[in-house]
Amino acid sequence: MSIIEVRNLTKSYRVYKKREGLADSIRGLFHREYSEVEAVRGIDLNVEQGEFVAFLGPNGAGKTTTLKLLSGVINPTSGTAEVMGFVPWQRKNEYRRRFALVMGQKNQLWWDLPAQESYRLHQQIYGLDREQAQATLNELSDLLDVTRLLSQPVRELSLGERMKMELIAAMLHSPEVLFLDEPTIGLDVIAQHNIQKFLRYYQEKRKITILLTSHYMKDVAALCKRVVIVAGGRIEYDGSLAGIIDKFSGSKIITLQFADGHRPSLAAFGEVLDENWPKVRVRVSRADVPRVLAETLRDNPIEDVSVEDPPLEDVIADLFRESSERSEGERSKSEASSTARY
């Protein structure tokens, strides 16, 4: 059963183009120029109940805007969306009680007060039974190992500890849908691992639906079976993590270990990535792998050889780069068109 249904969702902004210099600033008072920025462009998305979905894309791709739309923080320009049967931007109280949004760069806790004071306020806001709220708090703080820190002012906590407290605040009312926007941003490896472990355990236990944005591929690999890639406000891919390499990578990485003393010219092998003789790593197009291997094994003494897919991070980075360049070109054309109109 689909718990999130999105159809042709779009969000655009009309942005005033401020010119530099006194003369242009004065001119702008009488003749303003605007550009249309399309943050989200016709997204279609279905998420089933209990799924843990990664929502990936380069900066400015529309990820956070989409989460804000699904949370009802902003209104769309066009299109429809339903989450648990609710239209998010109608902002009904029944909907607010059933989802949560965590943004890694935004704080929802009182900075100078202990986190437990903010939790008491959340209990009142959501109308939670005191004993049930305390039981949930005990469970979450125990899982995240922060019970000893509940009475400590938030400003005295480390970034990783604050992020754990933010997660507790978001889950105190036991939401059925959780939107996570960069929850591990800026955290060290240990803190990232601890939050990954908690999210994986809690999601499996409670069967909640989670939509996660992150620039850390380790978050995605550890937590999500399904990946949605958005670029330029559009969905470019929706499928498994492994399927990304099959669809977007046109190359393989071949590692060759030559017999001692043998050092051939590498020009014919492909793009050389690393030389550490007698071992060499080269990038070869998928179509050329059989030929390169056959010729290499025929003409050279080889002690070891391996063929691997390129790192997932590299494939996604290349995809993001290409999408950003394409979006930048489209944006330039749009700005030129908007300037001409206004």
Cis omega before residue 264 (within 30°)?
no
- Distance (Å, whole) CA 286 – CA 282: 12
Angle between helices 159-171 and 115-126 (to 10 degrees): 20
Helices (H), 88-227: 93-96, 115-126, 130-143, 159-171, 189-206, 217-223
Q: Identify the pLDDT of residue 24.
A: 63
| Same-domain pairing of 76 and 223 | yes
Residue where a domain terminates, one of 226, 245, 264: 245
Residue 321 lies in a domain: no
| Same-domain pairing of 44 and 170 | yes
CATH number at residue 268: 3.30.70
What letter does residue 35 receive in the DSSP assignment? E
Chain centroid to Cα 43, Å, comes to: 16
Residue 335 lies in a domain: no
Residue 115 lies in a domain: yes
| Same-domain pairing of 208 and 286 | no
| Same-domain pairing of 210 and 285 | no
Residue 337 lies in a domain: no
Straight-line distance from the first to the last Cα atom of the chain, in angstroms, rounded to the nearest whole number: 46
- One digit per residue, the tens of pLDDT, for the chain of length 342 reads 789 999 999 998 877 677 676 666 666 666 777 677 888 888 999 999 999 999 988 877 888 899 999 999 999 999 999 999 999 999 999 999 999 999 877 778 888 999 999 999 999 999 999 999 999 999 999 999 999 999 999 999 998 899 999 999 999 999 999 999 988 888 888 889 999 999 999 999 999 999 999 888 888 888 998 999 888 788 888 998 888 887 777 888 888 888 877 777 776 677 888 888 788 888 888 888 888 888 888 888 888 888 888 877 788 887 777 766 666 655 556 555 544 454
| Same-domain pairing of 160 and 274 | no
| Same-domain pairing of 161 and 262 | no
Residue 329 lies in a domain: no
State the Cα torsion 100-11-107-159 to the nearest 10°: 100
Residue 317 lies in a domain: no
Residue where a domain terminates, one of 190, 221, 245: 245
Residue where a domain terminates, one of 245, 266, 296: 245
Residue 40 lies in a domain: yes
Chain centroid to Cα 340, Å, comes to: 35
| Same-domain pairing of 270 and 174 | no
Domain count, the chain: 2
* Residue showing tokens 């703080």: 141
| Same-domain pairing of 179 and 264 | no
| Same-domain pairing of 299 and 201 | no
Decide: 241 and 220 in contact? Cβ < 8 Å: yes
| Same-domain pairing of 272 and 240 | no
- Distance (Å, whole) CA 164 – CA 102: 11
Q: Which domain holds residue 165?
A: 2-245
Decide: 167 and 183 in contact? Cβ < 8 Å: yes
Residue 266 lies in a domain: yes
| Same-domain pairing of 116 and 259 | no
| Same-domain pairing of 58 and 108 | yes
CATH number at residue 68: 3.40.50.300
